[in-house]
Amino acid sequence: MTHRALLALGSNLGDRRALLQGAVDALPDVVAVSDVYETAPVGGPDQGPYLNGVVCLETDLGARALLEVAQQCEAAAERVRVERWGPRTLDVDVLWVDGQKVDEPDLVVPHPRMFERAFVLVPLRDVAPDLVPDSLLDSLAESLIGGPDAVTSLGALLTVAASGSEAG
């Protein structure tokens, strides 16, 4: 039985857009992808801006299997983990899997900070508006526009590969 899963993508090293598209292409069962947003880094050392997005999957994979796929995508992008919240070629986080809760040392679903981060909430709203109520974005509105959490839409830069039918 399939269920909805949501994964966040981020990149601030190399060809950021190409790295995000590579992840979208490598992920199984993608049915929708958000616009791409440019954001300032949150925490960590001084570093360049990120491109962020969220993908929606209709999959039979559970949270643990999705984490393994996410880590494979990061490895393919030659991600090196040197410093917490440091710059990276690709970051893929499991945000949400319908009907599943996981609380393990290396995996927490729903993601524990997904509702605190504008760089997740704004693209999440593109593909899963039911999870992001207006009141939540309203509470972040001031910081989203010109503030420290500013999120700038770059539009629909990523595509979902066609699987026998038109994809967008």
Round to whole Å and give the CA distance between 32 and 153. Answer: 17
Task: For the beta carbon of residue 143, count every other beta carbon within 10 angstroms.
Answer: 13
The answer to whether the CB of 49 falls within 8 A of the CB of 12 is yes
Catalytic, 16? Answer no
Catalytic residue among 35, 93, 126, 149: 93
Catalytic, 64? Answer no
Catalytic, 79? Answer yes
Locate 89 and state its tokens. 């070629």
Catalytic residue among 4, 16, 35, 79: 79
Catalytic, 25? Answer no
Catalytic residue among 4, 16, 35, 88: 88
What is the number of alpha carbons within 13 Å of residue 29 lying toward its C-beta?
A: 17
Query: How is 62-127 classified by DSSP, letter by letter?
Result: -HHHHHHHHHHHHHHTT----STT---S-EEEEEEETT--EEETTEEES-TTTTT-HHHHHHHHHH
Catalytic residue among 4, 16, 35, 91: 91
DSSP state, residue 154 = E
The answer to whether the CB of 122 falls within 8 A of the CB of 136 is no
Cite the active site residues: 79, 88, 91, 93
